[in-house]
Amino acid sequence: MKTSLTILNISGLRYWCFFVLTCIHISVYAEGTKELAPLSTDPSTINTWSTVSNTEFAGYDVSVEWRLYISIENFALERINMGFRKLNSSDVIYYRIKDPTGTVVFGPKVIPTAGVGYIANHGQAVIGPVTIGGAGGYTEDTYDPLMNGDYYIEFNRDNSTTQVQNEINIDLWDITVSDKVLSTAIPGRIHSQSWAFNGGSYTAGFWGKFYIYTSDSVVTRLDVNGMQPYRFVLNCNDYGVQNTGDFVEDRKSITSFVLAPQYKIFLNDPDSTIYPTAIQKAKVAPTTPTVINCGDATCLNVNFTKGGQAQIVVDLDGTPGYNAGTEDLRFIETVGPGIHCFPWDGRDGLGNKIPAGTNLDIISTVVTGLTNFPIWDAECNPNGFIVDAIRPTTPTQPRLYYDDTNLGGADMTSAGCVAPCHQWATTGPCGSSSIGDKKMINTYWFSQLDSRTYTVNVQACAPDAQDDSSNTTLITPVVIDVLFNDTDINNDIDSSSVSVPGALQPTNGSITSINPTTGQITYTADPNFIGTDTFYYVVCDDIPLCDTAMVVVVVTCDAHPSRNKMSGSVFYDYFPSNQVYDPTDAPIQNTKVILFEDVNQDGLIDAGDQRLDSVLTDANGDYNFLVDSLYWLTTGNYNQQISSATDDAHEKSDDQVEYDKNEHELGKVIVAIRWTNINIPQGAIIASSYIELYSKDNDSDIMTTEITAEDIDDAPAIVETDFNISSRTATTNSLSWNISSNWSSDVFYPTPDLSNIVQEVVDRPGWSSGNDMLFMFDIAADDRKIRTYDNDPSEAPRLVINYYIETTNTVYFLMKTDTNTLPTGNYSLTTDNIESAIFSDLGNADCFNNFGYFNSTGFWPLALDIFGFDASCYDSYINLKWNSNIQDENEYFVIERSLDGSEFEAIGSVSSPVEETSSKLFNFRDDDPVVGTNFYRLKQTDIDGNIDYSSVISEFFKVPLAISKIKVYPTLLKKEDQRVLIVNPSTEDMGIDLTIINSQSRQIHYESIDLLSDSQYKLSDLHLSKGIYFLKIIYKDEVKTYKILVTY
């Protein structure tokens, strides 16, 4: 208790002394030591290039955050006055001033030891320049600026021009901006983001005051109140000790140094002519937040009238306020004005999912003037800090907050403390081992706070539909499981709801079916289409709420993995001919297509070219050639005997490994043979491989041994230690070698082909040319003896590998049809009778090498042809379409429908056109489909009464929604004209919710309207930027989504 009283008495005496001094010196004009050292015994030494405190403050050519700035507002009337005293008079310290462009405009000069620019004592520093403060002041050095802006002063030791990182200490100093006409000081012009000081000892208290100007134009005053550092750096910011975006962690004190500058820190209240006061504090808007509990992308949407540091508390544990370790949630972020999304995973603080319909108590708070003060290496702070709100003023003093849990201290982030507080001290005198030594201790505060409490209901969510992608070749249909990666928080996705509305259909293909049980979509590319196609699908849940996602399908030629493929078609180019194989054209079967190598690469089939192959077109008129891969392969060979006595060895049944032997008993022991420096590149194609073993005796014993290689990039040498062979990992591929033929002595015998084993090793990612390979022969029921390197190097095992290496080689090919193989008739080509392909390496394809013909006389030699028969489900009907090559014998089509796929009944008919020899696209609309699966087929009848049937197709139909009657147009908007009409042509009044969502699934517009029967509503002034948007309309439990495209 005595200690506390003593501290209070000393502190009270200090403030009394300071009051007396300020009363004696009624007019003080300095800006520097005066603010930092109220008493002559107080330290105010500015410090740079200290390796202890990691400071570069005000040094030559330092970065922005270390500069000591001098603000000039009216250069014609203002002057910079300055004076200094070195802590060590023998140091040679230069100073210079740079203008806002970085140009040296004053100096460099040496800090003097007398005369102009020299401050002799504390009293002179407090009074300031003699021409401004009068008698007792110092004789100032001056500079008259030539432009407005932030000048900065720099110091350097021992060199007038080039940065030298020798420590600098200036114990008395003053920099005063004055009105040179009135000879009056203009305070609040000196600032830095990173002040650095030297207190001189661990026990000297620092009594300076600092004015912090925040990014939202708030000024607070920090009184460090006798803090006891030695050397220290002072920063202030809005985030803490680091800036990861997680304020809860960023504000915590830590044990490592981090430079954390942001705000300008002044020695006086910043001049308000340059640094104005905030005119509006941050506020929470009265609008009730919305909570959309939709998986990991959930948002707590809160509206703010002005930005600041915001905290959202979801109070779930029944005890008011945020309580860590309970169901409560807390979110802290920097926000701007307007609606801000606080991301949330939809779970409470204990990880439990919060169901839709739950009421949440939400406390939304936003602060103005948030200031963090992280101080590095301040050993002791016995009295705590004091903070006052200067501009704008507040009724009460700001509370101080901190989280020292990383240092074993308290968490004061909820209630804070009343200044002076946040002390840290020590038992006994403050020293280098005190609490704050080598610590980054953070304190934060704010000047104003606004808070509101709401009760918000967690909304139900639509499914979360994710984009999909797939690949296919030419017109090969591909089934896409679009629901595979879709999620719904309530697990109630309705697979039968999957649809691809007309506006979302693919551009270069068609949706041929949607499975109502699985939601799988079958996509078929248009004939002759190669490239990337996209479409969008809609999926709903049981409510139903819906979501939309994109599907990207890449359509390629059907390539061969290890060869090159050329393909195409021969077709009837129906009148009017267009040289393109259209859906209405028909194939020509059994036409010969001939392949040539264009040796001279002139694009013509001539005497220098080589005929390679010929094929007949199939029933679809298609043909293809697979070109010999040897065009793009070079051959190689490895043929070597082992080169060392230690490269063949065996492991006996007692696990001993031996290689100093003249023979190995193959089958009786495990035999290992290693070849070194195998110069085969990684990924080479192994054509064949075998090992030759030299027999010792005549032998007819039948035996079978398993051959493998070591599954490793580079096989290590064999050593004579137990298990050195059997402990090695074998390849997956192996060969069972059954030796049943007689062996004669002194003959090389080859193994069967080992190419699969060798291929596995050289395909390893780490294999490279020059690596070593080891083969193992396992124990068998019998044995045969083989010679070793020790017996005679010429009888050592030999490895033979034949391989190919892929290479680049540009080869030209030509294709033509044999017109003598066409059907009977007078045919003429509508395309050139030559197609070309060029390949430089393997694994490529060249398709659409098509040949079109036209029969200029007689009838088409074809039967009646129906193709492209398809069904599409819309809101209230099913549309059927098909293509047909029509002859004059065809009379009409009858459309038949079935509920079970077996019993059909007619529901309508379509007549054939009158003209002869034409092709046509037909449509039929079934306005009365049954709910469920509808089966359809076409019955075609010719003029003689002959009947033929198409294949059967099916389409699933749902009960039409009332919302389906709503019409939306236009859906293609210009940036300058964004008006969308919502039309209700029905007789039913509808209260609907309108939501616009962007392509990142963020809600950007919402309104609720009453759409009366037979009326329309205009959405306007949407201010949408270029891109894709989705307009979601909700009526009761029905949802419909429209794609909106905005262009420039």
Residues facing residue 775 across a β-bridge: 673, 709
* pLDDT tens-digit series, residues 479-528: 999 999 998 876 778 999 999 988 789 988 899 999 999 999 999 988 77
pLDDT at 1025 over 80: no
* pLDDT tens-digit series, residues 621-650: 899 999 888 888 888 999 999 999 999 999
CA angle 148, 149, 155 (to 5 degrees): 115
Per-residue tokens: 116: 């102009």
Identify which of 570, 490, 583, 495 has the alpha carbon closest to the alpha carbon of residue 539: 495
Q: How far apart are CA 1045 and CA 1048, in angstroms?
A: 10
Contacts of residue 89, Cβ cutoff 8 Å, sequence gap at least 6? 113
What pLDDT, on the 0 to 100 scale, is given for residue 1020?
78
Burial class (CB in 10 A: 0-12, 13-18, 19+), 905: exposed
Q: How far apart are CA 681 and CA 318, in angstroms?
A: 70
> Are 222 and 387 contacting, i.e. CB atoms less than 8 angstroms apart?
yes
Q: 631 in helix, strand or coil?
A: helix
What does R_g of the chain's alpha carbons equal in angstroms? Answer: 44
Reported residue count of the chain is 1048
Tell me if 468-556 shares its fold with 633-806. no
Other beta carbons less than 10 A from residue 447's beta carbon: 25
Mean of per-residue pLDDT scores for the chain: 86
Q: How far apart are CA 717 and CA 197, in angstroms?
A: 65
For domain 633-806, give the fold: Jelly Rolls (2.60.120)
For domain 468-556, give the fold: Immunoglobulin-like (2.60.40)
> Are 567 and 474 contacting, i.e. CB atoms less than 8 angstroms apart?
no
What pLDDT, on the 0 to 100 scale, is given for residue 423?
93
What pLDDT, on the 0 to 100 scale, is given for residue 29?
64
Backbone phi and psi for residue 803, each to the nearest 5 degrees, phi listed first: -145, 165
Identify the band that residue 7 occupies on the pLDDT scale cut at 50, 70 and 90: very low
Listed in order, strand segments (DSSP E) in 37-144 are 45-48, 68-72, 78-86, 93-98, 104-110, 141-143
Lowest mean pLDDT across 689-703, 711-725, 979-993:
979-993
CA angle 978, 979, 983 (to 5 degrees): 150
Identify which of 745, 818, 731 has the alpha carbon closest to the alpha carbon of residue 773: 731
| Rounded mean pLDDT, 541-558 | 86
Lowest mean pLDDT across 475-484, 582-591, 841-850, 887-896:
887-896
Q: How far apart are CA 737 and CA 265, in angstroms?
A: 84
Choice between 679 and 877, residue whose per-residue pLDDT is larger: 679
Share above pLDDT 70 across residues of the chain, in percent, rounded to a whole number: 91
Other beta carbons less than 10 A from residue 70's beta carbon: 23
What pLDDT, on the 0 to 100 scale, is given for residue 547?
86
Residue type, 509: G
What pLDDT, on the 0 to 100 scale, is given for residue 863?
38
Residue type, 165: Q
What pLDDT, on the 0 to 100 scale, is given for residue 18?
38
What pLDDT, on the 0 to 100 scale, is given for residue 339?
84
Identify the band that residue 913 occupies on the pLDDT scale cut at 50, 70 and 90: low
Identify which of 572, 482, 444, 494 has the alpha carbon closest to the alpha carbon of residue 851: 572
> Are 891 and 941 contacting, i.e. CB atoms less than 8 angstroms apart?
yes
Domain ranges in the chain?
31-195, 468-556, 590-631+809-855, 633-806, 866-957, 962-1046
Choice between 172 and 965, residue whose per-residue pLDDT is larger: 172
Q: Which residue has the tokens 């609606």?
A: 339
Q: How far apart are CA 26 and CA 1014, in angstroms?
A: 82
Phi-psi region of 183 (alpha: psi -120 to 50; beta: other; left: phi over 0): left
Identify which of 975, 990, 926 has the alpha carbon closest to the alpha carbon of residue 955: 926
Most confident stretch, 101-105, 319-323, 412-416, 817-821: 101-105
What pLDDT, on the 0 to 100 scale, is given for residue 976?
67
Identify the band that residue 826 occupies on the pLDDT scale cut at 50, 70 and 90: confident
What pLDDT, on the 0 to 100 scale, is given for residue 748?
96
Q: Which residue has the tokens 């680091």?
A: 242
Lowest mean pLDDT across 321-325, 355-359, 586-590, 860-864:
860-864
* pLDDT tens-digit series, residues 568-616: 999 988 767 788 887 778 889 899 999 999 999 999 999 889 999 999 9
Q: 1027 in helix, strand or coil?
A: strand
What pLDDT, on the 0 to 100 scale, is given for residue 91?
95
Choice between 676 and 311, residue whose per-residue pLDDT is larger: 676
Q: H or E stretch including 787?
A: strand 784-787
Q: 417 in helix, strand or coil?
A: strand
For domain 962-1046, give the fold: Immunoglobulin-like (2.60.40)
| Rounded mean pLDDT, 520-543 | 87
What pLDDT, on the 0 to 100 scale, is given for residue 19?
35
Per-residue tokens: 903: 């019993």
Helices and strands (DSSP H and E) totals, the chain: 6, 71
pLDDT at 944 over 70: no
Contacts of residue 947, Cβ cutoff 8 Å, sequence gap at least 6? 939, 940, 941
> Are 624 and 567 contacting, i.e. CB atoms less than 8 angstroms apart?
yes
CA angle 390, 396, 399 (to 5 degrees): 90
Identify which of 865, 933, 869, 873 has the alpha carbon closest to the alpha carbon of residue 895: 869
Choice between 545 and 727, residue whose per-residue pLDDT is larger: 727
Identify the band that residue 885 occupies on the pLDDT scale cut at 50, 70 and 90: low
* pLDDT tens-digit series, residues 207-266: 999 999 998 899 999 999 999 988 888 999 988 998 887 788 899 999 998 888 999 999
> Are 955 and 917 contacting, i.e. CB atoms less than 8 angstroms apart?
no
Per-residue tokens: 995: 């939501």
* pLDDT tens-digit series, residues 109-167: 999 999 999 999 999 999 999 999 999 999 999 999 999 999 999 999 999 999 999 99
> Are 834 and 815 contacting, i.e. CB atoms less than 8 angstroms apart?
yes
Q: How far apart are CA 800 and CA 692, in angstroms?
A: 8
CATH architecture of the region 866-957: Sandwich (2.60)
Listed in order, strand segments (DSSP E) in 430-574 are 440-445, 448-459, 468-473, 478-480, 493-499, 509-514, 521-525, 531-541, 546-556, 564-572
Identify the band that residue 17 occupies on the pLDDT scale cut at 50, 70 and 90: very low
What pLDDT, on the 0 to 100 scale, is given for residue 422?
96
Q: How far apart are CA 990 and CA 974, in angstroms?
A: 29
Q: How far apart are CA 273 and CA 221, in angstroms?
A: 19
Q: 963 in helix, strand or coil?
A: helix
| Rounded mean pLDDT, 919-929 | 84
Other beta carbons less than 10 A from residue 323's beta carbon: 17
Sign of CA dihedral 676, 677, 682, 686: negative
Give the single-character DSSP code of 54: T
Q: 115 in helix, strand or coil?
A: coil
* pLDDT tens-digit series, residues 802-818: 999 988 889 999 999 99
Identify the band that residue 994 occupies on the pLDDT scale cut at 50, 70 and 90: confident
What pLDDT, on the 0 to 100 scale, is given for residue 856?
61
Give the single-character DSSP code of 482: T
Question: Is the preceding peptide bond at 145 cis, omega within 30 degrees of 0?
Answer: no
pLDDT at 25 over 70: no
Q: How far apart are CA 62 and CA 349, in angstroms?
A: 46
> Are 704 and 642 contacting, i.e. CB atoms less than 8 angstroms apart?
no
Question: Is the preceding peptide bond at 108 cis, omega within 30 degrees of 0?
Answer: yes
What pLDDT, on the 0 to 100 scale, is given for residue 1026?
73
Phi-psi region of 1023 (alpha: psi -120 to 50; beta: other; left: phi over 0): left
Q: Which residue has the tokens 């005679």?
A: 792
Per-residue tokens: 609: 């070219």
What pLDDT, on the 0 to 100 scale, is given for residue 595?
95
Q: In this structure, are strands 904-911 and 890-898 parallel, antiparallel, or unpaired? A: antiparallel
Q: How far apart are CA 346 and CA 890, in angstroms?
A: 64
